Every structure is written in structure tokens, then in C-alpha cells.
Amino acid sequence: MTHDVVAIGCGPFGLGLAALASTVDGLDAVVLDRRAEFRWHSGMMFDDALLQVSFLADLVTLVDPTHPLSFLAYLRDRDRMYRFYVRERFHPTRREYEDYLRWAVERLPSVRFGHEVARVDWTGDRFVVSGEGFSLDARDLVLGVGTRPLVPTALAKAQVVHSSEFLHSDVSGDRVTVVGSGQSGAEIVLDLVRRNLAGGPAVSWLTRTPVFAPLDYTKLVLEMTTPSYVRHFHSLPQDRRDELRAEHWRHYRAISERTLEELHDLLYRREFERGLAPVELRPGVAVVASERVAGETVLTCAHRDTGRLFRHRTDVVVAATGYEQAATPFLDPLEPLIRRDHRGRHVVALDHSIALDPTVTGRIFVAGADLHSHGVAAPDLGIGAVRNATILNAVAGREVYPLPRDTAYTAFTAPGEPVD
């Protein structure tokens, strides 16, 4: 049997593909994941952490609000609709959103956990996806393997825990240093300052950015996460896309205003306590090297404003240093057939398919590995349903899901008649 599409990786984007595909007559989709069960950011699942987007950015709603696997359908099934309504917040807690995703998994037999893909081959008319104990044929593929934790080489010799494993790790010692100032770093610092107020360790927060910057969530700026801006961004030359992407870091790598306010409130409370270990916040600091000396970690740091080098001593470092695209060694058999740009990245079309040798009649789509081609919206949950609908329309060869067209007040393209 040849499936219409096999997706590799079941994060929210892969799960969303399975959800939208589940109600399309005649479309056979399978989603594989190497993990034994669904997990989502479990190492950062603080009790009070909120999702940074509206509940409308679920698996399906922004394409099909009547879908049986919407967040509202989940609330109704859990008999929590009125409690959510009275709460009057569009942003669910992170725990609630994970519970919603697990609820969806239970209703999707097309999702198969415990299936680690070892290789993918092209046979001339189909892809063969294989691993220990299984082999599947597919006309098209979707890569949704996501990202993996990134620890910079400058921290290679430190006693280090990546932020993704913070709640699963024993972060002990008299001095804890957080490196990195995105949302994850801020939430970890918030947790550590709470511990500090209860007599816990000293806390240092170091970041390369010149300030602890808030996410730019003003409404017209948020229009950059809509399909309208995605289409504009994709139409630009790749060099210009790269320039713009470097400017957009505050849209997806900064800190929510709510988290910054909570942190400042805790710091203010510390003014009235005595005998607490110190807390220091140092922006504009880059870690350039690390070493272990007599049981402690010593970081060599550069103060970016002055260029001055200094040493910072700590017991453990929490690296809130982000993620990089996960490796895909299972694609090695296809590598001669994959076309890449001058920086080794996939060349991604507007429909999220990557450029392949013309002899390959099947298509490989990417879900989430398209920041360089589709811009700031790529990692945003709010674009997931539209991306998946775009992919399924291409796989089916027809419009199984109408796509939103008029999605922004902002006009991103050049107006009028060009000047010679």
C-alpha cells in the first residue's frame, strides 16, 4: 500500500497535519515519531506559564473553525467551556495546551509513536520510509522533525544544563547563572528568583542583547505572522530575506511583557529582605569561553559596550541559548537528489516543498524548517494550520481547504507602477 503522504516528526505541526488530514475523504496520511509518547516542552512546563499566542492558534481553527479537533471542541469534551469563558483570557496555560494536544493524539490513529525512521529512499515512483520493524511507501513526504537544543561551543567546558531540561535536572549549587534572554531564559530566571527569595542560591542572568527586550506584540507588527506577510517575504531574494530575518529577532526571541513585569515585582520585593544571596542582571555580555577550575565553572565574558573581558564564577550554567534544526541522517540516501542554497539550506517553495532533482516526481515538504524562506511566522503556532492546509492541498491536488487570502491591513508589497 502506498500512502498519499508520510510525515516524520509529531510536534504540534506534525500533529496538526494529521488532524487536518483526518477529515479529508480519500486522503491517506501517516505521521511517525520516534518517541514513545507525545511530549511538548516538558522541561519548561512551569505551573503558571502561558502560551504566547491565542487559543485560536490550535491545530485547525485558523483554517477550519468547525473541525472536531479544535481547542473549543476539546473544551466542550472536557466540560470546561464555561470555566474558560469566565476566565476571559485568550491565552491558555502551557499545561492546558499540552493537554489539548494529548487529547488530539488520542483521536488520531494515523499518528504512530515508537517509530524511529532510519532511512528514506526514492525508488523511482515513491518514497520508502523504513526503520526497525516497519517500512512504509509514500507518494509525498513531510519533514517535521523540529529542533534540538543548542549549547554554544563557548559553554562546552561549563557545568551546563540546557533550558529544555531545566525542570528535569538537578540545578544545585550556591550560584546559578542563566545565559540567554529569550522567553525560556526569563521564565527560568523568574523561577530562580522565587527560590532566591526563599533562601535559595545566588542568580546571575547574562545575555548578549543590549537590553532584556520585550516581545513586540503590537497588533500591526503581529500582521507579520500572517499569510500576507509570508507571501511577501517569500517573494524576496534570499539575501534580502536573510537581512530581514536578522532584524526580526524581537518578534520571536524576546520576552513577554507579563514575564518581565513579574520578574521586576520579585526584584522589588527583595528590597525588603535581608540575608539573601545576590541577584544580578547583566545585558550586553557575551560568553566567549568556559573552563572548570577547582570544582567551579569559570566563564570568560566580554562586555560588549566597552570590549572589556572579565571572569564570571558560578556552580552551574543554565543555557537558554535556543535550538538548531534537528539532524536528518535518514535523508542521506536522498542527498544527491536534494538541491540546497549557497549556505547549505533547503530551497523551499511557497507551498513548503523543497527543490529536488527533476527525476523525483514525489515531493518533500518541510514544516517548521522554513524560517529562512518564509520568515518570522515560520515557528509561530498561528501559521501551522495554514501551512498544513497548503501542504495537504498540494498533496491532494485540489483545494481540500480554502486558504485565507485577506489577512492583514498592512500592505507589504511595493505600490503602483514601477519607475524605470
Q: Which residues pair with 121 in a beta bridge?
A: 128
Model confidence at 280, pLDDT cuts 50, 70, 90, reads very high
Together in a domain, 280 and 197: yes
- Rounded Cα distance between 324 and 298, Å, is 25
Distances (CA, A) of 354 to 117, 266, 366, 375: 19, 48, 7, 16
Model confidence at 216, pLDDT cuts 50, 70, 90, reads confident
% of the chain exceeding 90 in pLDDT: 88
pLDDT for position 368: 83
CB 100 within 8 A of CB 71: yes
Together in a domain, 175 and 108: no
pLDDT for position 252: 75
Residue 249 belongs to a domain = no
Q: C-alpha angle 324/211/288, rounded to 5°?
A: 55
For residue 15, which phi and psi values (nearest 5 degrees)?
A: -65, -40
Residue 401 belongs to a domain = no
CB 164 within 8 A of CB 149: yes
Mean pLDDT throughout 154-168? Answer: 96
Together in a domain, 391 and 350: yes
Residue 232 belongs to a domain = no
* pTM, rounded to two decimals: 0.94
How far is residue 344 CA from its own chain's centroid? 21
CB 234 within 8 A of CB 373: yes
Of 290, 319, 348, which residue constitutes the final position of a domain?
A: 319
Model confidence at 414, pLDDT cuts 50, 70, 90, reads confident
- Rounded Cα distance between 48 and 187, Å, is 10
Together in a domain, 134 and 178: no
CATH of the domain at 105: 3.50.50.60
Together in a domain, 119 and 33: yes
- Run of H or E residues at 302: strand 296-303
Model confidence at 271, pLDDT cuts 50, 70, 90, reads very high
Together in a domain, 341 and 207: no
Together in a domain, 64 and 198: no
Q: How many domains does the chain have?
A: 2
Of 319, 341, 358, which residue constitutes the final position of a domain?
A: 319
pLDDT for position 369: 87
Residue 115 has pLDDT above 90, yes or no: yes
pLDDT for position 43: 87
Together in a domain, 106 and 194: no
Of 319, 335, 353, which residue constitutes the final position of a domain?
A: 319
Q: Give the chain's radius of gyration (CA, Å).
A: 23
Mean pLDDT throughout 306-310? Answer: 96
Residue 299 belongs to a domain = yes
Together in a domain, 6 and 54: yes
Cell of 308: 572589556
Tell me whether strands 127-131 and 117-122 are parallel, antiparallel or unpaired: antiparallel
Residue 359 has pLDDT above 90, yes or no: yes
Q: Across all residues in the chain, what is the average pLDDT?
A: 95
pLDDT for position 249: 80
Residue 124 belongs to a domain = yes
Residue 240 belongs to a domain = no
Mean pLDDT throughout 373-378? Answer: 93
Residue 291 belongs to a domain = yes
Domain range for 177 is: 150-215+254-319
pLDDT for position 47: 85
Residue 69 belongs to a domain = yes
Model confidence at 415, pLDDT cuts 50, 70, 90, reads confident
Model confidence at 419, pLDDT cuts 50, 70, 90, reads confident
Model confidence at 170, pLDDT cuts 50, 70, 90, reads confident
Together in a domain, 98 and 61: yes
Mean pLDDT throughout 388-395? Answer: 98
Together in a domain, 191 and 140: no
Mean pLDDT throughout 2-28? Answer: 97
Q: Which residues pair with 314 in a beta bridge?
A: 297
- Rounded Cα distance between 304 and 292, Å, is 24
Together in a domain, 287 and 360: no
Mean pLDDT throughout 139-147? Answer: 95
Largest CA distance in the chain: 73
